[in-house]
Every structure is written in structure tokens, then in C-alpha cells.
């Protein structure tokens, strides 16, 4: 009997080719398009169309009510706390893969497949996420919060492929999604600005306001902490004789500390909400990414109780940002990940 796999089909080229590859490999493919929020009618239609072109069964699953609490509330809450959320990494663990896991069980499937550009490898006694072959599209950073039970059942057929090859293969197969434009934005913003989105979903009276402060001196009042992030330079609207950057945000007072670029650094970070294999050393050297668009840097990691960890960078890093994800690597394998809390 064929192994049944549930394929997440968003209607894009990556997920469509994923379904094709799994079918070619002999799996019994079941397609599903998850509805996360209102306004996804086109994605549902595209997912259904792609499944028909491939000749695989398909259905839609509505998780809009769950997504509001699991991701959108987290997104808003984090900004109100003066931090900068990473909704895509958070969603992969707490929404997307979680919902797919439920649907996998309900359809009696044994595996999940997605169109992420990442690999899975054995590391010690566990399967772990590893960087995809296409370094320009690698999504291992955004998968660093996955739980072990999620990693064990998910497959990434595109992990060894380059994006150009994926599009070429889709065109060769005559799939209508071959030239479809892909979205680079946070999905539920639907191409809009995050500030505009927050304004529509937050009571203005609850937005903490305060002062821009440089060297203990108040420069001017700002419009609210939700509009700023650590490391930000543009959009401060301050006339000053040198470039200023956001160094820290105090959610209690509403004050935002500004400084020159050299002072917006950290020797290390404290991580919370840590995901990490139980059989690994608790203190070790590794590499870490504290934002997606950066090369991993050397560090020392100490795993601590209550899903926390302390990371000490080999050299100070620019703008470690509370709320963002730190992804820990050993030889391109994701050892773990967590949310940046305190910076020191």
C-alpha cells in the first residue's frame, strides 16, 4: 500500500511542484489548501486548479479563527510590547505545521509535504532541518522553531533544487503556475504596510507613546512604539547633526533610546521559547543568524532551563532585536531556535 502524504498546496509553483514530485515518488498524494484569513479566495481557487492539473484529490480547510489567535494576535501583541515579531517563523510552528499536522491525522496520512527550500538530515539520534541547496532561497531560518514531532513527519522535496530549476520543471510539465508571481510579504498584510495594518487593529489609546532620547536628553515625542524597531534609522523624522539609530525601546515608559550606529550592538542575547534536541550538548560553539538576511556568525551557546538559552557572539553584532528569531547552526544543520528576549 502506498504511503499517504498530505501536501500543502497554496496555488504557487513551489507547492504545486512539491505535489508533483511526491506523486512521482510513488506517494498517495492528498492536496489541501489552508485558509488562514479572509480574502484568500484566489489562493483557494489556485490550489484547487493546481490539484486538478496534477490529477490529485484536494480540499480546503478553514483555520481563520485559529489563525487570528495563533498568529495575528501574537503579531499585534509583540509590537505593543516594543518588540519586533517574526510572524513567518512563528506561524510555521504554531499555525501552518500545526494545522497540517491535525489535517494529516484527520485524513489518515502519514506524512506532510511543503514547498519550503530546506532539507532534513539525521543529526545524532534525531532528524533535523538543514539549509536548502539554493542558498538564495534557503528557508531553514524560518523553520528553526519547529518541534521535533513536526520535523519527523514533514518532507521538503525542493530541498535539493534551485528555484530556477523548479520553475523550469513546472514549465516543462505545462503547469499554469510556472510563471506565477510569488509573494515576498507577510501573507496576511496582503501587500499592505504593517503600520497601517496595526492602526486598523489596535485601539489608538493603547499605543504607548514617549520620547526619543539621546544621551539622556529628550529630543522629541514620537508617534508610538509600534512604529519603530531596534536598528532603525529611516523614518525617525529627527533633524540631528549625525545619523541616529534606535538602540532600545522601553514598553513601560514608551521612551526610545537613540544612538550612533557603533553603539547599537550586543555581545549576546537571551533566548526564550527555545526549540532544541534533547540529546545535544548543553554548552557548545556554533553559528547563529539573528535575522534572515545575514550570514551566520560564530557564537557560544548555553542551553538553560525552561526552554531558554544564552548566546554569546564571537564579536559584537549590530542590532540584535527583541522578538526576532535566532537560528543556531552546526555545519548547516539547524540545532535549534528561539525568540530574542534580552540583549546584553
What are the start-end ranges of the H helices in 173-290? 194-201
Instruction: For residue 53, give the nearest of 153, 160, 180 by alpha carbon.
Output: 180
Assigned C-alpha cell, 310:
544564552
| 187 in catalytic set | yes
Task: Say which of 88, 108, 187, 327 is annotated catalytic.
Answer: 187
Q: Closest Cα to residue 83, out of 203, 229, 222? A: 229
Q: C-alpha dihedral over 257, 262, 267, 271, to 10 degrees?
A: 50
DSSP of 40-81, one letter per residue?
-HHHHHHHHHHHHHHT--EEEEE-HHHHIIIIIHHHHHHHHT
Rounded Cα–Cα distance for residues 212 and 218 (Å): 6
Cell of 1: 500500500
Phi-psi region of 273 (alpha: psi -120 to 50; beta: other; left: phi over 0): left
- What are the backbone dihedrals phi and psi of residue 78, each rounded to the nearest 5 degrees, phi first? -65, -45
Selected catalytic residue, list 91, 108, 149, 299:
91
Q: Which residue has the cell 481563520?
A: 64
- DSSP three-state, residue 277: coil
In order of 1, 23, 246, the CA distances from 238 in angstroms are 67, 57, 12
CA distance 273 to 283: 18
Return the C-alpha cell found at 320. Answer: 540584535
DSSP, collapsed to helix, strand or coil, labels residue 225 as: helix
**Which candidate, 159, 152, 55, places its Cα nearest to that of 112?**
152
Is 149 known to be catalytic?
no
Indicate which residues carry an active-site annotation: 91, 187
Amino acid at each position: 500500500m502506498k504511503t499517504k502524504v498530505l501536501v500543502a498546496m497554496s496555488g504557487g509553483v513551489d507547492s504545486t511542484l512539491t505535489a508533483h514530485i511526491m506523486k512521482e515518488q510513488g506517494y498517495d498524494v492528498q492536496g489541501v489548501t489552508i485558509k488562514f484569513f479572509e480574502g484568500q479566495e484566489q489562493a483557494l481557487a489556485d490550489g484547487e486548479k493546481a490539484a486538478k492539473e496534477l490529477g490529485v484529490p484536494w480540499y480546503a480547510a478553514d483555520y481563520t479563527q485559529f489563525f487570528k489567535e495563533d498568529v495575528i494576535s501574537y503579531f499585534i501583541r509583540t509590537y505593543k510590547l516594543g518588540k519586533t515579531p517574526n510572524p513567518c517563523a512563528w506561524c510555521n510552528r504554531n499555525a501552518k505545521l500545526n494545522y497540517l499536522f491535525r489535517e494529516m491525522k484527520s485524513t489518515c496520512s502519514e506524512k506532510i509535504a511543503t514547498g519550503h527550500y530546506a532539507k532534513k538530515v539525521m543529526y545524532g539520534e534525531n532528524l533535523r532541518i538543514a539549509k536548502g541547496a539554493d542558498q538564495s532561497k534557503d528557508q531553514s531560518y524560518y523553520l528553526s522553531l519547529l518541534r521535533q514531532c513536526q520535523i519527523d513527519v514533514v518532507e521538503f522535496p525542493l530541498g535539493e533544487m534551485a528555484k530556477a530549476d523548479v520553475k523550469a520543471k513546472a514549465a516543462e510539465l505545462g503547469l499554469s503556475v510556472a510563471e506565477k508571481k510569488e509573494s515576498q510579504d507577510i501573507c496576511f498584510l496582503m501587500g499592505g504596510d504593517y503600520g497601517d495594518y496595526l492602526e486598523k487593529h489596535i485601539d489608538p489609546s493603547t499605543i504607548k507613546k514617549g520620547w526619543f532620547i539621546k544621551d539622556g536628553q529628550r529630543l522629541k515625542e514620537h508617534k508610538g512604539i509600534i512604529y519603530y524597531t531596534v536598528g532603525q534609522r529611516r523614518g525617525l523624522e529627527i533633524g540631528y547633526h549625525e545619523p541616529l539609530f534606535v538602540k532600545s525601546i522601553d514598553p513601560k515608559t514608551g521612551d526610545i533610546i537613540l544612538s550612533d550606529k557603533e553603539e547599537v550592538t550586543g555581545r549576546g542575547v537571551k533566548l526564550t521559547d527555545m526549540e532544541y534536541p534533547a540529546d545535544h550538548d548543553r554548552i557548545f560553539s556554533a553559528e547563529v543568524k539573528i535575522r534572515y538576511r545575514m550570514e551566520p556568525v560564530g557564537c557560544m551557546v548555553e542551553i538553560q532551563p525552561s526552554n531558554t538559552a544564552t548566546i554569546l557572539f564571537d564579536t559584537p553584532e549590530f542590532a540584535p532585536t527583541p522578538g526576532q528569531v535566532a537560528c543556531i547552526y552546526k555545519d548547516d544543520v539547524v540545532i535549534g531556535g528561539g525568540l530574542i528576549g534580552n540583549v546584553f
